[in-house]
Amino acid sequence: MGEKIQITMAKSAGFCPGVKNAIDKVLELAKNRKKPIYTLGPLIHNKQVIETLREKGIHAVNSADEIKEKRAILVIRAHGIPPEEETKIRALDLEVVDATCALVKHVQENIRTHTLKGYSTIIVGDKDHAEVVGLMGYTEGRGFVVSGPEEVKSLPHFKKANIVAQTTQEEDVFLAAAKEARKIADDLTVSNTICNPTRQRQKETAEFSKDSDLVIVVGGKNSANTARLFQICERLAKKAVHIEREDELKKSLFEGASNIFITAGASTPTWMTEKVLEKARELAGREVNPVMEQLAFAWKLIITGSLYTALAAAALTYVCMKLERVPVSVKFLLMAGLFAFSLHMANRAAEKGTAAPGKARRLLFVKYRVASRFTALVCGALAILLSAALGWKIFLAAAFFWGVGMLYPYKLPMGLEKFGNFPASKDIVTALGWAFMCAYAPGLWRGGALSNSTQLAIFFAFLLVFTRSVLFGVSHAHSDMIVGKENFYKAAGPTLTYFTLLAIFLLLAGILFSLKSAGWQPHLAAALITGLFYYLGLMLFFYFRKPPEHITAETLIDTQFIILAVLAYSVNK
């Protein structure tokens, strides 16, 4: 059985656009405003994400009356609220921010328009769901909620009626309800307001469930759209299970299952389904080579432990020293590796806000953070000590860049926290730090910090590391990690991001071609041009296909520097 097991992840899994928009809004508010931030009800129906937002100071309240601070920020969640409630809260001494999903707003306007024309409204959905409660407010007392076609039969006769769907409703249920509604209305308008992301998610789930021995549905137990996905799976698959976290999976669940499908609700981040996929592979009983399994585990530790990042930084330093014609020094390679390792580890610890709720898990993450920060401080101190041995100028510059890098995820001193709010600030800070350590420091040590070759190396390193950081941002965004506009991809959007990356590739390639043509280290320039095509292929891969899970993505991105170092080394052979 082991070798024949097939586990498929739904392509439609991950946050829907409405959820992404709501999370982006509150993150920007948290980053740019000093005021307390509240959401009117849970922003989305996912405990893990709500816990993460709470750690960032964003709290959910059931009523505006619970807010005691004046001029606090109150966010209307993606589900929307009744118009009379919105009027009430806007009259209070609060800053109200509307994060209602655009597709929900479309349904609200649809109901409002038809209500003004004298239509009654039939809403196919869950009467207690926040979205439906909000929609009912637009019916002016002439609204009816039904869960399906059977409940339509008990409705009164209508002269004019408009039937709409909760945006996450199952389409077959809505169409069947509309069919029944035609029998009780003289004039019926059918407004199929199920959103396209929901329609696509349900369609994919239905197609794969038919041929699956086991379907795993990931999402909050209080999420309506996740519950509907589970209902579809229960009808079509041999066996289906609805879980919130990967640790709910048991080995017995996989007995006799050779075709497994994993899907998720619209409020379930991709990183959660990736954890479920990893756990499912572990429990499915596939026959694997124990040596390969141990190697895979070891590689995961190398990546998550920031060791590969350290190697990538040392590799880039080697390339820059070759560009500058500086004698390669092990001290600089080690210093750059420790510098990158320290900052990468510290940033990982700062980003670990995705633990599931529960005292045990929170305690585990606190211990992880403490250990990571301690390790980062020790390695950073070693990097600074090494820099001191190379001269006081290098020491001061290294201490400055390391200090800014360590403080960046938190609150920067001396008003520098405003820079943290600047779009792409994280990518810029990362690129500046690496450019100093990998290129400027060797040039400063040689005494030619302003020489043409050092300036070239700094420019080369900055753009390559900026590209690296942006691609990390693309991977994080596609995994639905909680990131804001300090990430270039989030700030600029997909089109401008990939246009910028392509422009950087063309610029670097053009410079290297010019150097080769001018006879300046032509063999090294040719080798680096060859290496740049790896990044071009990686960009195209990320553009045309969904980026792989984060371990693979991080490996692919940082391998660029290893390839460049190998090619630069080969020039000496």
For 76, the 3-state DSSP assignment is strand
Measure the CA–CA gap between 332 and 319, rounded to whole angstroms. 12
CA distance linking residue 245 with residue 219, whole number of Å: 8
Residues in the chain, pLDDT under 70: 1-3, 285-290, 292-293, 349-369, 408-422, 448-449, 482-484, 572-573
145-198 pLDDT tens trace: 999 999 999 999 999 999 999 999 999 999 999 999 999 999 999 999 999 988
194 contacts: CB under 8 Å, gap ≥ 6: 165, 166, 167, 168, 169, 171, 174
The per-residue pLDDT for 360 is: 53
d(CA 413, CA 429): 15
Helix axes 102-116, 17-32, angle to 10 degrees: 110
Q: Where in the chain is CATH 3.40.1010.20? A: 2-13+198-287, 104-194
Instruction: Please give the model's pTM, rounded to 2 decimal places.
Output: 0.78
Q: What is the pLDDT of residue 354?
A: 47
Q: Where in the chain is the domain with CATH 3.40.50.11270?
A: 17-100
Q: Is 554 a catalytic residue?
A: no
Given 3.90.470.20, 3.30.365.10, 3.30.1490.20, 3.40.1010.20, which CATH number is that of 2-13+198-287? 3.40.1010.20
Q: Please give the pLDDT value at position 551.
A: 85
What is the model's pLDDT at position 137?
95
Per-residue pLDDT tens for 521-554?
899 999 999 999 998 999 999 998 878 888 888 9
pLDDT, residue 290, reads 67
Distance CA 49, CA 356 (A): 8
Span 104-194: which CATH code?
3.40.1010.20
Whole-Å CA distances, 178 to 122, 164, 301, 364, 412: 9, 9, 54, 51, 57
Q: What pLDDT is recorded for position 2?
A: 45
Across 284-318, b (16+ Cβ under 10 Å) vs e yields bebeeeeeeeeeeeeeeebbebbbbbbbbbbbbbb
pLDDT at 38: 93
Catalytic-role residue among 86, 131, 180, 244: 131
Q: Is CATH 3.40.50.11270 the classification given to domain 17-100?
A: yes
In the sheet with 158-165, reading across from the earlier edge strand, the strands are 143-146, 120-124, 158-165, 185-191
Q: How far apart are the first and last CA of the chain?
A: 50
Helices (H) and strands (E) in the chain, counts: 22, 12
pLDDT of residue 317: 95
